[in-house]
Chain A
Amino acid sequence: MSAVIDENLGSLADVTDGAISIKDVVKIYDPDGAAVMAVDHCSIEIPAGEICMIVGPSGCGKTTLLNAIAGFHGITSGSIHLDGELLCGPEKPQAEPGSDRIVVFQNGALFPWKTNLDNVAFGPMMAGKLSKEEIYDKARSMMADAGLSGNENNYPGEISSGLRRRVEIVRALMNDPKVLLFDEPYRALDSLTKSVMHEALLEIYYRNKVTIFFITHDLEEAIFLGHRLIIMSSRPCKPKKIVEVDIPHPRDYSVLTSPRFRELMNEAKDVVHEEATKAFEAGEKEG
């Protein structure tokens, strides 16, 4: 992690793809007539290559928004565009899932029945555009770049959860996605492993700049990783406050003890706390 670091690593200037535009999105769940409004006229603009951290209390509707972008379910009204192209909107309530937007799941979704290498090669193998040799060569070299060599022929169940998360990110990057969608991927990890994962994620990000839409309810994680924090209101979810994290990238763990970090932490904390209290009083369960 002490590789030569160039000043440009944090800059978004050279990233052209992956701008997400969320406009007036509303999502109402309607199981047997009991309407639940999960997202309420939510608008967010995410520039290409940004690490955008979505922070909000449990059950506020963050996953709902992420699933709408990924195309796992439709929206009630509003629209979502990726690089100016419509993903979902008035005529097309549900986006088509695709390899330009790849989700890294909360509990991890590496296929346990495929070796790590087969997992990494999965996307291109399904697309069938390259030959098997080309795909596996690329998979091996991407795993090596991410410090994963030696784990190719193991199954996901045989490696540590930290390594599994890394394999999953590499599997996504194999498809040259424009956007990575993270749904609280490090929630279940202890704080030690988490800190290692954060640095590894940034390291990967500096090498492959893609837009990152990252849901979390851990403020420290949010400020450490993000260019920007979007703090959501309690359900129904919409942006409540935006915090620009002006700590320059590349970052490492020394950032955590810097005075600016503390300031940003305090700035965000009050809003988050207020929303969490509202959510708690409304009796929200973990979503």
Chain B
Amino acid sequence: MPDPANNSEILSALKSAMPFQMVPGNLMQEIAAICTQESYEAGEKIYDLGAVADDVFIVAYGSVRHTLSADTDASKHEKTMRSGDVFGWAAVLEGQSVRMAATASIERTLVLRINGKKLIKLFESDPAVGDVVMTRFATLINKEFYVPRSIADQVPGFKQALNASNLQGSEVTTMALTVYRISTWLKSPRPYLMLIGFALFLSFWMLSVEIWKLPRFVDMPGPTEVFTEWFSEDPYYGLSIYTPEYYKHIGISLQRIAFAFFLATGLGVPLGLFLGWSKKFREYIFPLFEVFRPIPVLAWVPLAIIMFSGSETPVIFLTFLASFFATTLNTMLGVESIDESYSRAARCLGASRWQTFVHVVIPGAMPYIFTGLQISIGVAWFSLVAGEMVSGQYGLGYVINTAYMMIEYPKIIIGMITLGVVGYITSAMVRMMGDYLMQWRVRELALGDN
């Protein structure tokens, strides 16, 4: 049972050490648990050259003289380690079992000792973090001691253990991150809870419709009926994964979504940026915007049909509308959310107003813009289905509506489930696009919580 006061001392000393600063709380606790504290009087030897390298040391307070052996190729052989400094890293090097330096305390000094092997074992359980800490070790060794890369290269890498965990290098790819996300996701309880959720839902559906035959559900098709129809090569109502018809509906809905979404983004993002950036512009436009924004899309349906001829344009217009408001508003909020220090810093560093716009306003608003786009793609599907149910020749909304009128109930459910899946995929694509454009955020988050 660790003494809590002691434990918090150990934790704060660990946090002051550069390689450990990014370690998340729970792993930090585990590291703290394998730390021991030891104090040395002034002038006392800590270890000698050639001694067995078992532990890594962190100075909690005091100072330590660190003398590298004369035959190491360092440009500076002597160094004073103060609180927060880490030494004794031979203990985590691969193929290095003895001390390459001699160390002695200069004054009364308290150090933390961490067994190198145990530390590496802990990191193997969390390769992503381990890799970061080890990369920092390597940097430290390289920087502080001017030793050749070859020694730093003995730092064990955890990259093999988890290809995707290379969060430190600049070559993080979206693919690697996705793999990384999926692998951490699979390790968490979430996917299993999710499966249980689905199972519960399906069994409730099955029980209420097919087994108990509850009165409220008499006309409702049961899961067996729906799935048989959906996966049938010769569907009774003419719509299944084997009919080209099915893909045509999906394709046309997607086409409309894409058109409306890109139009809304192309107009909404610049408009939002300027609304946020120029106070004057905002005073002209924003009140107008605020009057139109709360009008629900459904209220626009009649006007859309009157305004636009044909069956295609009204649907796209309706889909566009809600997306456009969400995107513009969030982009504007994004610009407003940017800390004033950033634009002041840019001005200090000599950036013109336009340069500040390009280098500060746009990237600074990016997180909000992508929140906006997430909302935008969601409301786009919502309005699309509304539009397709009233007007239009094809599309998933049309499928649901006609199936209802023709009393082909399983088709309604097929249309609904398909909408859910396709909608989810499109919003995942928007999120991936955001991650790709905002590597800096992804990496911050990846280091912050996992």
Q: With A113-B363, A113-B440, A150-B143 given, is the CB distance from A158 to B447 under 8 Å?
A: yes
Residues of B within 8 A of A160 (CB): 18, 21-22
Residues of A within 8 A of B443 (CB): 154-155, 157-158
Q: With A111-B359, A113-B363 given, is the CB distance from A127 to B344 under 8 Å?
A: no
Smallest CB separation, B439 vs chain A (Å): 8
Smallest CB separation, B60 vs chain A (Å): 9
B169 proximal to A (CB < 8 A): yes
Smallest CB separation, B273 vs chain A (Å): 15
A109 proximal to B (CB < 8 A): yes
Q: With A109-B345, A157-B444 given, is the CB distance from A2 to B79 under 8 Å?
A: yes
Stretch among B94-102, B225-233, B347-355 lining the A interface: B347-355
Instruction: Name A126's contact: one of B138, B355, B366 (CB within 8 Å).
Output: B355
Residues of B within 8 A of A2 (CB): 78-80
Interface residues of B in 128-144 (CB under 8 A from A): 138-139, 142-143
B402 proximal to A (CB < 8 A): no
Interface residues of B in 1-27 (CB under 8 A from A): 12, 16, 18, 21-22
A158 and B444 contact, CB distance less than 8 A: yes
Residues of B within 8 A of A102 (CB): 348-349
B341 proximal to A (CB < 8 A): yes
Smallest CB separation, A95 vs chain B (Å): 11
Question: Which of A2, A70, A108, A157 has its CB near the most chain B CB atoms (within 10 A)?
Answer: A157
A175 and B79 contact, CB distance less than 8 A: no
B350 and A105 contact, CB distance less than 8 A: no
In the complex, what distance in Å separates the CA atom of A108 from the CA atom of B169?
24
Instruction: Name B342's contact: one of A71, A111, A149 (CB within 8 Å).
Output: A111
A171 and B438 contact, CB distance less than 8 A: no
Residues of A within 8 A of B440 (CB): 112-115, 155, 157
Q: How many residues of B contact A (CB 8 A)?
A: 44
Main secondary structure of the interface of A (DSSP, over half): loop
Interface residues of B in 421-450 (CB under 8 A from A): 438-441, 443-444, 447
B349 and A175 contact, CB distance less than 8 A: yes
A97 and B444 contact, CB distance less than 8 A: no
In the complex, what distance in Å separates the CA atom of A11 from the CA atom of B344?
32
In the complex, what distance in Å separates the CA atom of A51 from the CA atom of B404?
79
A171 and B349 contact, CB distance less than 8 A: yes
In the complex, what distance in Å separates the CA atom of A64 from the CA atom of B32?
44
In the complex, what distance in Å separates the CA atom of A97 from the CA atom of B348?
5
Residues of A within 8 A of B139 (CB): 149-151
Q: In the A-B complex, list the 8 residue pairs whose CB atoms are closest, starting with the nearest.
A: A150-B139, A157-B444, A123-B349, A109-B345, A153-B170, A109-B341, A113-B363, A99-B350
Q: With A109-B341, A149-B139 given, can you name 15 additional A-B contacts, CB distance below 8 Å?
A: A1-B80, A2-B79, A2-B80, A99-B348, A101-B348, A103-B345, A111-B346, A112-B440, A114-B363, A114-B440, A150-B139, A153-B169, A154-B168, A155-B443, A192-B83
- B residues apposed to A, CB below 8 Å: 12, 16, 18, 21-22, 78-80, 82-84, 138-139, 142-143, 167-170, 339, 341-342, 344-352, 355, 359-360, 363-364, 366, 438-441, 443-444, 447
